[in-house]
Structure 1
Amino acid sequence: MSNIKQEPVHAGEFLLSEGAGKISREAINVVAGPAVMAGQVLGMVAATGEFAPYNPAAEDGSENAACILFASLGESDVTRRGRAVVRLAEVSEVLLTGLDPDAEKALAANFIIVR
C-alpha cells in the first residue's frame, strides 16, 4: 500500500501571465459551503452578487463563468472573502477546475485566455 499524496493547486499557480500590478484581480465574496480550491472557475449568483463554483446546469447566474478563484478557501457556514482573477490574464487549462467550452468562451469575453 502506498501513501501517495496529491498536492493541490497553489494560490495563483494556474496563472501564466496577468496584467501589470494586480489589475487582473478583485476581492470577491464566495458563497458559504464546502472548500473551494484555487483555479476553480466561478459564476456570480444573480440574487446575492456572491460567487459560486461554475455550474452549467444552474439557473441562478452561476451557470455563466465569470472569473477564477485565486487562492483556496476552506469550508464555511458563512460567506467567505476571497480573491479572483477577473480580467486580463492567461491561465493554464490543466490547473483549472470546472472548465468546459462554454466557460472558456465566457472567460475570454473578460480577456481571461485559457492556454
Structure 2
Amino acid sequence: MTVLTEPRHPGEFLMSEANGQRSRETITVASGAGVIAPGSVLGKITASGKYLVSAIGAVDGSQTAAAVSLNGCDATSADQKIAAILRDAEINGNILTFHADRDQPAERAAARADLAAVGIIVR
C-alpha cells in the first residue's frame, strides 16, 4: 500500500494571534536559505534585516529566533517575500520546524525562549 505524507499547511501551527494583522509582517527570506517550510523558526540577519532558518552555529544574528514563517517558500537562488509571525501570538510547538542543528531539547527550549522575548508564546 502506498503511504502518502501530507506536508505542513500555511498557518497550521497558529493557535491565536492579535487582532487584525498586528502579529504578521511581510519579511524577506535571504537567497541561499533553501526551501522554507510553513512553521519554520527564523532568525534575522543583523546586517541585512533578511531572515534565515535560525541555526545555533550562525554568527550573523540569525542564531536568535525572531519569527515563525507563516508560508513556505523556495529561497534557494533568490530572495523571497513571505508572511511571518513576528509578535503577539500563541503557537503550537509540536508543529514547528527547526534547523537541523537544533536537535536537542535544550537547543529548542532556547529558541522558544527567544520567541517568547518577542511575544511569540510556544505552547
**Where do 5+ consecutive residues of structure 2 fail to align?**
103-107
CA distance in structure 2 between the partners assigned to 1:24 and 1:48 by the alignment: 22
User: Taking structure 2 as the reference length, what is the TM-score of the superposition?
Assistant: 0.88
Measured on the aligned residues, the alpha-carbon RMSD in Å equals 1.2
Letter in 2 for 1:82: I
User: Taking structure 1 as the reference length, what is the TM-score of the superposition?
Assistant: 0.93
Aligned to 1:46: 46
Aligned to 2:55: 55
Q: Where has structure 1 moved over 4 Å in runs of 4 or more? A: none
Aligned to 1:36: 36
Once the two structures are superposed, residues 58-111 of structure 1 have per-residue CA deviations (whole angstroms, 9 ceiling, x without a partner) of 111110000000011124411101111000000001110117111100100111
Letter in 2 for 1:60: D
Q: Does 2:8 match 1:9?
A: yes
Aligned to 1:91: 91
Equivalent pairs counted in the alignment come to 114
Q: Does 2:104 match 1:111?
A: no
Once the two structures are superposed, residues 4-58 of structure 1 have per-residue CA deviations (whole angstroms, 9 ceiling, x without a partner) of 1211111111000000111100010001132110000000111211000010111
CA distance in structure 1 between the partners assigned to 2:73 and 2:113 by the alignment: 25
**Where do 5+ consecutive residues of structure 1 fail to align?**
none
